[in-house]
Structure 1
Amino acid sequence: MSLLFALYVFSYIIFLCISSSTALDITTDTEALISFKSQLSNTEALSSWNHSSSSPCNWHGVTCNRLRQRVIGLNLSGLRLSGQLSPSLGNLTFLESIQLQKNQFTGVIPEQIGHLVRLRALDMSSNSIEGMLPSNITRLTKLVTLDLSANTIASKIPQDIDSLTELQVLRLGSNRLYGIVPPTLGNISSLANISLGTNSLSGGIPSELGKLKNLIELDLTINKLTGTIPSSIYNLSSLVNLAIASNDFWGDIPQDVGQRLPKLVVFNICFNRFTGRIPWSLHNLTNIQVIRMASNLLEGTVPPGLENLPFLRMYNIGYNRIVSSGDRGLDFITSLANSTLLNFLAVDGNRLEGVIPETIGNLSKVLSKLYMGENRFHGNIPPSIGNLRGLSLLNLSHNTISGEIPVKLSQLENLQELSLAGNQISGTIPNSLGRLQKLNSLDLSRNELVGEIPSSFGNFQDIDSIDLSYNKLNGSIPREVLSLSSLTTYLNVSKNLLSGSLPQEIGALIKVSTLDFSDNLLDGEIPSSISNCISLEYLFLERNMLSGLIPKALGSIRGLEILDLSSNKISGSVPVELQNLNALQLLNLSYNDLEGVIPSGGVFKNISSFHFDFEGNKKLCSLSSCVAQGQGRKMLIIYITVPVVVTLVLCFAFGFLLYVGRRKTKAITPLEMAKPHHPMVSYDELRRATGNFSQENLLGIGSFGSVYRGFLSEGNAVAVKVLDTLRSSSLKSFYAECEALRNVRHRNLVKLITSCSSMDFKNQEFLALVYEFICNGNLDDWIKGKRKHANGNVLNLMERLNIAIGVACALDYLHHDTETPIVHCDLKPSNILLCEDMTAKVGDFGLARLLIERPTNQVSISSTHVLKGSFGYIPPEYGWGEKPSVAGDTYSFGIVLLELFSGRSPTDDSFTGGSSLTRWVQSAFPDKSEQVIDPQLLSQIFHNDLADDKGPNLQLDCVTAVLGVGLSCTAESPDGRLKMKDAVAKLKLVRDNFSKLNQNKGPSRH
């Protein structure tokens, strides 16, 4: 009996202990969750989370182990929670799953997350989490799924990530990850999904990934990866999705890639530099759904076999060098008729020739997007295209297609974008196009269309932009078109034969950004209702026959950046209300019949802040010049503060004129204050100066046009930059470059002499900038050895120092010594020119930005919505969406400096596997700098050195100091970079030390 009693007591004690422990554990979890909630807002969905509840196991999104009464799962996905993640998460030590995706969490991932050693799934994707990956995240050795994609985490991927031995899914895409793809990933044999796209990863694809025999998906799109694709990747027979687009990979794609990867469903290699031919084996993968090879350097023809792909949904080979041969070269289009699920077809930007086959109408009924522009198609548009009722986009632009627009296009009732621009299409615009109710973009520009603009266009309900420019359309602009309140981007009917007046209905375009009616035969007055176009940024009415006054109401369009009313018959005064246009970047009122005083308030106070032209208005003057020329009683009464009797005024005026005559001082003419800083030159003069823009005078071709050498009438050698007006960005580039250079003067900047905005012999728009001619080419050619001195020598140390200092001085001037700071945005060796005496001059300001404060939602003409620069020289923060800054220019200068003294380009093929120019130099700095110095410069140092044996070492010290400046300018963080003033000072100090060394120079050894 006593034994039974003892056992009972012992069991009761054990029960109490267990109960006490359980109570303690669930209490810990409760407090952790309450603490987690306390850091959040928008917690309506977590109303059940409170102390009054019996157990957190009953709370929304919480899962417990019923036996142990511990929290093992937390699923709060899609609840729109906001706030920071509490470190108390680390106290939920039994957690196996965290699902916090699609919320609005901010801040960093707490280090305490590393305490959750039982965690198998961690999903915090689609939030705004930042900072770095926790250093102890690799302690979570039971993780099967790690998904932190679509945040802003700026970190390297841990090299010891192979500690996560059970990991199957790794998703870190759409962050700010940098560094290399760790080769140790190849040790995680369980990995089935790797998604690292949209980051800033560099280096190459490690061949170790070829060991992942279970890998199904590999997504490395939109990074900075380089090199060739390891052959081991093509041996991953389990791979279903291979996406490596938007990097800098090169080399041939194996023709048997389809045989090596038999399970491929997605093959995406867009935006790289792959060469060779389209792999024929891809067309044998009967299960493949996506083939994307656009924007590479692929050649040859489209291989046969497309009829074998019944599940194909996307086929994109645009922007390569694909050709077609013979009469049946476009039969591959017919072959795609078997792909009944095809909804995206792009063959644009190639060298395909021939007539578009009538059988194109047999393609998939669900085909949504058809891109065939920028090829060499001729003949008519086949009416059978009207059978493709699922089309939402049809682009046949920039071919040599002729004939008329088929009426059957009006059957494409789902069409949203129609572009037939840049062809030879003739006839009238079918009235039936007005049936396309869903159309939001219509581009019929640069054709040979005649007749009137159909009034049926007024039926468009969602139209965003219309471009009918460069045709031969006549008649008046339909009121129905000017009533399209849905227009938000542009209405462009320039370069036609349109007549009549602008109707008052133009005021209905309250959302439109650009109106271009230039180069027509429009007459009458500018309607005052145009002031209702409150979103207007660009208004072009030049070269018409408009008359009457400039509406005062234009001054209420506060976002207006360009206003061009030149070459009309407009009279009256310049409305003082225009001084309210604070966003104005260009005002052209030249060649009208304006009179009176140019306003002097508001935006006109600082006329150097924007580009203006009042030339050709003989009765127009500034306040000072009007008074100086004795404009008469009315002007004097207005601007003389104390009224006097008429006789005294006349005496004063007469005496003033006598005084001016005696001094023989020329009065300021009405236009002297108003004419552009750079007088415009005519198209004919530039044509003669460049020998009709002959190939013999072609100096080079850039992103915005071509540069020619020429001689103006007075015999001065010039460089004429002719902008490609077919590029949508050319106008902004033109004005950005004018704006950047109009008021700057520095010995290390290329001098802008004049400009030309005219029409060429084809009656097409012509834009050109005329610069001083720089005879010694660009720095890029000198670094690469394409240019040398007459004696065969390359740049010596002193020349390189002077060039570096010259460029640094130019940037320092642009950043700190101009009225408005200027950021170059595209500094690289090819944009640095060398004079006869090897003085460096910075040029090409087509991407320059003026750092001025602007009202909300206003964008400068010198800005672009999409940053463009040169790969290798763009600072990393620009890739994350940061605005251009002086620190960005400093980074580019640092890269140029390292390239100048190392002879190695930042895009050199040797920089693979995570290496880069900066890392390569850093690895040798400072003790082994000799290993990274330009071999040709190194040879000069050792073989043409100073008499003193210490000479080479002292010169090496100079170069090492310069490399140090370059590394300081290329720091990862913008705040950590050297300021340009400091860079100039440090480089000048190096030069001074070298000069002192040179003063002690003895006779040469050789």
Structure 2
Amino acid sequence: MAFSSQLLVHFGLLLILLHLQLHHLFIGVSAATLSITTDTEALISFKSQLRNDTLNHLSSWNQNSSPCNWTGVQCDRLGQRVTALELSGLGLSGHLSPYIGNLSSLQFLQLQNNQLIGLIPDQIGNLFSLRVLNMSFNMLEGKLPSNITHLNELQILDLSSNKIVSKIPEGISSLKKLQALKLGRNSLYGAIPASLGNISSLKNISFGTNFLSGSIPSDLGRLHDLIELDIILNNLNGTVPPVIYNLSSLVNFALAGNSLWGEIPQNVGHKFQKLIVFNICFNYFTGRIPGSLHNITNIQVIRMRSNLYEGTLPPGLGNLPFLRMYDTSYNRIVSSGVRDLDFITSLTNSTHLKFLAIEGNMLEGEIPETIGNLSKDLTNLYLGRNRFSGSIPTSIGRLSGLGVLNISYNSISGEIPHELGQLAELQELSLAGNEISGVIPDSLGNLLKLNLIDLSRNKLVGRIPTSFGNLQSLLYMDLSSNQLNESIPMEILNLPTLSNVLNLSMNSLSGPIPQIGRLSGVASIDFSSNQLDGDIPSSFSNCLSLENLFLTRNQLSGSIPKSLGEVRGLETLDLSSNQLSGTIPVELQNLQVLRLLNLSYNDLEGAIPSGRVFQNLSAVHLEGNGNLCLQSPCVNRGEGRRNVRHYIIVAVAVALVLCLTIGSILYIKSRKVKVSSSSEQLKPLAVMISYDELRLATEEFNQENLLGVGSFGSVYKGNLSYGTTVAVKVLDTLRTGSLKSFFAECEAMKNSRHRNLVKIITSCSSVDFKNNDFLALVYEYQCNGSLEDWIKGKRKHANGNGLNLMERLNIAIDVACALEYLHNDSEIPVVHCDLKPSNILLDADLTAKVGDFGLARLLIQRSTNQVSISSSRVLRGSIGYIPPEYGWGEKACTAGDVYSFGIVLLELFSGKSPTDEFFTGGLGIRRWVHSAFKEKTMEAIDPELVSLISHDDPSEGPNNVQVYCVDAILGVAISCTADNPDERIGIRDAVLQLKASRDSFESL
């Protein structure tokens, strides 16, 4: 009985234990069910935010099945939680759902290579188990979520190639397990956090193509496992901290496209023995190229383009068997000895070489025949803009993989080797700017993949090969400035792909222009300065994309085809200096975007059309056509023709005066042309000036009267017959861009009127004694010359002193006021684009006046943004004064002028030009002054100015108010020259701060 009782007790305890285990089991199942349900709902919410037309790959995402079976979804072993979401490259588009933060067990989130948009939700910071976060190559925007620094398990963070605008948070250092940080190709700004040096596990840093500023933190030198340091295309400055060169684990060292300076250590190759990529292009590094780089046996890429390196190329290039790219272009590399070009022969050992660029240096001698022994994999060979002589080696024809061959702008002579026709893969051939003679070989017609051929500025003779008709991939052809003769082959006018330039100008081509065939996409045709005759083909109307047509200086006859009025995109039409007859087709009025119409020096007759472009006489040149008149029918053809011819010359100049005169000294009685009813006699609207008057005023443009030479012409001092002293700017009409400069100045000054702008008195549009076009602008003469003369000490006061502090400050305020007027108060805002001391003139009272608007741009307002009327991305301005954003193709804007003004201000008070030889190693005037700012200000100031602002006793030095004044002025300059245009002050604020400094100084 006792035994049975014990048995019952044990049995009861067993049942209790079994019950408890079953209870816990059911509770666990329930919890797991709730968790997978939460993950399912989060994923369905994620899907709901995506566009329906991109969901084909997510068709398996159905609530009736477990998410563990869905495309791109992975769960843990028990299927209780989602641990990975891998949806890369599926073309998904839409927003990221904030419910993604509910996937609390997620370890891998990979959404790269899609089209996701919008913000990164803050809920990402709830994924505390996340190890990999990769959302690169999308279109995500906004800031980095601040709580992303809470993801303590994160090993890879890749948000590259998005539209994120943010600073890199200092708290990023809390991610102690991070190995790869990739944020390149966004819009990050601010400094690189020094705290990154605390993440000892970090192996990859990729911040390229952003707007990061400041210097490279020396703290990065603590990352002893770092493999990749990619910070290309930012706004970083300063020197590279020496400790960086101790990172012996580096494989990719990429600093290109910043403002870094100093010398790379000569032993860098011994430190970076594992290096594969060495890229420091587009900086200001100085010294000699480190020879130790040529000892890194496994290196594949060496890029040092556009720095300030000097000396010869070091030996050892034969030691690099795996080298794929070698680029030392645009430095100051020389070759002085007979064997200094042996490095080309050494590179034959680099059997994987694909890219070789040594252009833009000072290399001399003959290109060796051994160049043909380079790698068969070589695709790009850039040898241009050096001092190579001799002939083109025929061995180049053996480089069968070559896609680009550029030997332009050297002193190469001899003939073009027919062996170049063997380069079947060639896409670009540029031999321009040499002394190459002989005929163009027919074999070049075998280059069926050629996109560009530029043989301009040589001494080539003979005909244009008809075999060029085989170049069915050609986009660009320039054969100008040679001695080619015979006729234009019809074959080259049937190239359907030719969409950029066809330039045959300045040769001796003869015969008629063939009918245009299939050039429907070409943008520019230039047949000027040849001996072409016959009619202008009506088939030019087939060129539907044509923007520029130059046929000037030929012997073309017949009438102007009406069909030219069908080329609606035409911006420039120059038919001048031919033998064209008949009337001006009224159809030319249909050319809505035409900016320049030059029909001068022909035999045109009849009435001048009055619509569109003909209403803007500054854009139309009709001089030299004595039989034109204003109204139809023309009457009194004898006297009337002479008067009309006189009017056409005068009226064009008058129109320019109306555009240019500010505070005009001319009295304009009426804007309407008055025509005599009896004789159709035309009366000039204003007193004009002739070529002869300017010739006499300048004493035959005597060099002793030369005041200066600019980009588009020369300026002379002149004395007019009625006693007025003027400055005469004579434009070089043969120089590319001179007419655009002329019209830019016209438009910029059209409605501008301010005491600090140089006044333009009148203009001259005529011909010189050689019957060449003559254009000139006549300005007020400023007796105290340019600000540049005073800064450089070429001008001084009668007592031998230069400009004192108050004079310099007043000049700075004058210039700032001129810019403030142009930017904010002019009828149409104007951007000067070329502000520098030589364009700032001083009158008898040292009042500063801004001049030379040849590069100016008008702005139109669209909501709060300033938009340039011009779409041109050409770099505008003068070296040293150009804002950094213009170098990357940004349009002209007022912030660019502010930057240039800041540089002028620094130069005015330091006495040093931004291009001074003092600034070596990329130091730069801004960095130099900034380093002294607030601490050793007076060390950066013009020594002459320091002596002028001292007390009567020079040993006492400047007083506190004077130093404060100088500090304030330099502070304005520093604020104007920030690398990021958004961080610069406006010109109105600059004026206010400078005037406040003047008030402080006057209180002395």
Fold similarity call, TM over 0.5: yes
CA distance in 2, matches of 1:469, 1:772: 40
Amino acid at match of 1:20: S
Q: Check if 1:381 corresponds to 2:392.
A: yes
Number of corresponding residues:
950
1:810 corresponds to: 818
- Are the structure 2 counterparts of residues 967 and 272 from structure 1 closer, same or farther at C-alpha, using a change threshold of 3 Å? closer
- Are the structure 2 counterparts of residues 206 and 65 from structure 1 closer, same or farther at C-alpha, using a change threshold of 3 Å? same
Contact kept in structure 1, 2:906 and 2:926, CA below 8 Å: no
2:365 corresponds to: 354
CA distance in 2, matches of 1:919, 1:124: 42
Contact kept in structure 1, 2:543 and 2:567, CA below 8 Å: yes
Match of 2:285, SS state, is strand
1:276 corresponds to: 287
2:608 corresponds to: 598
**Offset of residue 195 of structure 1:** 1.4
> Which of these residues, 344, 352, 360, is aligned with residue 355 of structure 2?
344
1:564 corresponds to: 574
Contact kept in structure 2, 1:203 and 1:911, CA below 8 Å: no
Q: Check if 1:171 corresponds to 2:186.
A: no
CA distance in 1, matches of 2:219, 2:63: 54
- Are the structure 2 counterparts of residues 383 and 550 from structure 1 closer, same or farther at C-alpha, using a change threshold of 3 Å? same
Q: Deviations over 1:560-596 (max 9, x none)?
A: 1111111111122222222222222222111112223
Contact kept in structure 2, 1:710 and 1:720, CA below 8 Å: no
Uncovered stretches (5+) of structure 1, i.e. residues with no partner: 634-655, 946-950, 1002-1006
CA distance in 2, matches of 1:479, 1:182: 63
1:667 corresponds to: 682
**Offset of residue 260 of structure 1:** 1.8
Q: Check if 1:145 corresponds to 2:160.
A: no
CA distance in 2, matches of 1:810, 1:209: 46
1:184 corresponds to: 195
CA distance in 2, matches of 1:765, 1:406: 40
CA distance in 2, matches of 1:848, 1:680: 30
CA distance in 2, matches of 1:71, 1:482: 64
2:951 corresponds to: 943
Contact kept in structure 2, 1:595 and 1:618, CA below 8 Å: yes
- Are the structure 2 counterparts of residues 629 and 968 from structure 1 closer, same or farther at C-alpha, using a change threshold of 3 Å? farther
Name which of structure 1's ranges 234-243 and 488-497 shifts more when overlaid on structure 2.
234-243
Amino acid at match of 2:570: L
Amino acid at match of 1:668: K
1:653 corresponds to: none
Amino acid at match of 2:436: I
Match of 1:25, SS state, is helix
Q: Deviations over 1:40-91 (max 9, x none)?
A: 2243234336453322222222222233622222222222222222222222
Contact kept in structure 1, 2:477 and 2:503, CA below 8 Å: yes
Amino acid at match of 1:336: L
Match of 1:366, SS state, is coil
Amino acid at match of 2:289: I
Structure 1 residues 582-981: aligned runs within 5 Å: 582-607=592-617, 611-623=619-631, 667-668=682-683, 689=701, 691=703, 704=711, 718=727, 736-737=744-745, 739-741=747-749, 744=752, 746-750=754-758, 776=784, 779=787, 789-791=797-799, 793=801, 795-796=803-804, 798-815=806-823, 820-828=828-836, 831-851=839-859, 862-868=870-876, 883-890=891-898, 893=901, 943=951
Match of 2:683, SS state, is coil
**Offset of residue 468 of structure 1:** 0.6
1:644 corresponds to: none
Contact kept in structure 2, 1:680 and 1:757, CA below 8 Å: no
> Which of these residues, 195, 212, 215, is aligned with residue 223 of structure 2?
212
Amino acid at match of 1:265: I
- Are the structure 2 counterparts of residues 168 and 568 from structure 1 closer, same or farther at C-alpha, using a change threshold of 3 Å? same
CA distance in 1, matches of 2:690, 2:162: 48
2:504 corresponds to: 493
> Which of these residues, 5, 12, 18, is aligned with residue 28 of structure 2?
18
> Which of these residues, 105, 112, 121, is aligned with residue 101 of structure 1?
112
Match of 1:232, SS state, is helix
Q: Check if 1:405 corresponds to 2:420.
A: no
CA distance in 1, matches of 2:217, 2:127: 30
CA distance in 2, matches of 1:686, 1:405: 47
CA distance in 1, matches of 2:400, 2:133: 44
**Offset of residue 557 of structure 1:** 1.8
**Offset of residue 705 of structure 1:** 7.2
CA distance in 1, matches of 2:361, 2:603: 50
Contact kept in structure 1, 2:873 and 2:891, CA below 8 Å: no
- Are the structure 2 counterparts of residues 18 and 790 from structure 1 closer, same or farther at C-alpha, using a change threshold of 3 Å? farther
**Offset of residue 597 of structure 1:** 2.8
- Are the structure 2 counterparts of residues 229 and 969 from structure 1 closer, same or farther at C-alpha, using a change threshold of 3 Å? closer
CA distance in 1, matches of 2:358, 2:765: 37
Contact kept in structure 1, 2:868 and 2:892, CA below 8 Å: no
TM-score where L is the length of structure 2: 0.83
Higher RCO structure, 1 or 2 (CA under 8 Å, sep 6+): 1
Q: Check if 1:9 corresponds to 2:19.
A: yes
Match of 2:807, SS state, is helix
CA distance in 2, matches of 1:903, 1:367: 49
- Are the structure 2 counterparts of residues 844 and 70 from structure 1 closer, same or farther at C-alpha, using a change threshold of 3 Å? farther
Name which of structure 1's ranges 140-149 and 476-485 shifts more when overlaid on structure 2.
140-149
1:527 corresponds to: 537
RMSD, aligned α-carbons:
4.7
**Offset of residue 604 of structure 1:** 3.4
Contact kept in structure 2, 1:288 and 1:311, CA below 8 Å: yes
Contact kept in structure 2, 1:201 and 1:224, CA below 8 Å: yes
Amino acid at match of 2:535: E
2:657 corresponds to: none
Amino acid at match of 2:245: Y
**Offset of residue 392 of structure 1:** 0.8
1:643 corresponds to: none
Percent of paired sites with the same residue: 61
Q: Check if 1:540 corresponds to 2:555.
A: no
2:263 corresponds to: 252
- Are the structure 2 counterparts of residues 940 and 359 from structure 1 closer, same or farther at C-alpha, using a change threshold of 3 Å? closer
Contact kept in structure 2, 1:176 and 1:880, CA below 8 Å: no
Amino acid at match of 1:88: Y
**Offset of residue 312 of structure 1:** 1.1
Amino acid at match of 1:175: N
TM-score where L is the length of structure 1: 0.83
**Offset of residue 545 of structure 1:** 1.2
CA distance in 2, matches of 1:171, 1:676: 65
2:658 corresponds to: none
1:457 corresponds to: 468
Contact kept in structure 2, 1:625 and 1:668, CA below 8 Å: no
Contact kept in structure 1, 2:697 and 2:718, CA below 8 Å: no
Amino acid at match of 1:246: G
**Offset of residue 601 of structure 1:** 2.1
Uncovered stretches (5+) of structure 2, i.e. residues with no partner: 1-10, 642-673
> Which of these residues, 489, 494, 513, is aligned with residue 478 of structure 1?
489
2:523 corresponds to: 513
Contact kept in structure 2, 1:204 and 1:914, CA below 8 Å: no
Amino acid at match of 1:372: L
1:310 corresponds to: 321
Amino acid at match of 2:701: A
1:551 corresponds to: 561
- Are the structure 2 counterparts of residues 911 and 420 from structure 1 closer, same or farther at C-alpha, using a change threshold of 3 Å? closer
Structure 1 residues 982-1001: aligned runs within 5 Å: none
Contact kept in structure 1, 2:589 and 2:613, CA below 8 Å: yes
Match of 2:119, SS state, is coil
- Are the structure 2 counterparts of residues 985 and 210 from structure 1 closer, same or farther at C-alpha, using a change threshold of 3 Å? closer
- Are the structure 2 counterparts of residues 936 and 914 from structure 1 closer, same or farther at C-alpha, using a change threshold of 3 Å? closer
Match of 2:510, SS state, is strand
- Are the structure 2 counterparts of residues 308 and 724 from structure 1 closer, same or farther at C-alpha, using a change threshold of 3 Å? farther
> Which of these residues, 298, 302, 306, is aligned with residue 295 of structure 1?
306
CA distance in 2, matches of 1:293, 1:584: 44
